Amino acid sequence: MTGPRMEEQLYEDLTPIVSGYGFTLVDLRAQIVKEVLHVHAVIFAGSGVGVDDCAAVHRMIAPRLEALYPDRDLNIEVGSPGIDRAIRLPREYRIFQSKGVRVYSKAEQQWVGGIIHDSDEHEVVIVRGGVQQRIPFADIQKARLDDSQEV
């Protein structure tokens, strides 16, 4: 198994391990290159994520990956989302609730910024200046975290 299906399966498998230690697994990318499984995990915690946190999560997930892929060499990277992370998946809006964001709305053909107030499987609700704006995921061309929206 390779590609998005492998990534989703690994995400589901590693999420309970990561969350058991107080972190949220935001994203996971995996690919096999020249017989080596490369895994890049992005973790988040409301209190922030430091280098020691990334190392701890690496130590937590490595044994599980070794058990799942005993015939592969592994390359595991763990990082934080960063202050201007590109948001790829709808689930990330729930993870980053109360954080600043900028989304490019295809319907409005412009950037819309504000604080993520809420989201469900169909849309995100962004608040700016006390006004809520609902943006369907189908209308979002691209999105980024933007801490300047939080001031």
Contacts of 116 (CB under 8 A, 6+ apart): 93, 96, 97, 98, 99, 100, 101, 124, 125, 126
Summarize pLDDT for 14-54 with one digit per residue, the tens: 999 999 999 999 999 999 999 899 999 999 998 889 999 99
| Tokens found for residue 14 | 């590693």
Query: Which domains does the chain show, CATH number per domain?
Result: 3-79 (3.30.300.70), 91-150 (2.30.30.100)
Q: pLDDT truncated to tens, each residue of the chain (151 aa)? A: 567 788 999 999 999 999 999 999 999 999 999 989 999 999 999 888 999 999 999 999 999 999 999 999 999 999 999 888 999 889 999 999 999 999 999 988 999 999 999 999 999 999 998 999 999 999 999 999 998 888 6
In this structure, what DSSP letter does residue 39 have?
E
- Residue at token pair 């801490």: 147
**Residue 55 and residue 33 in contact, taking contact as beta carbons nearer than 8 Å:** no
**Local structure of 134: helix, strand or coil:** strand
Contacts of 145 (CB under 8 A, 6+ apart): 81, 82, 83, 84, 85, 87, 96, 99, 100, 101
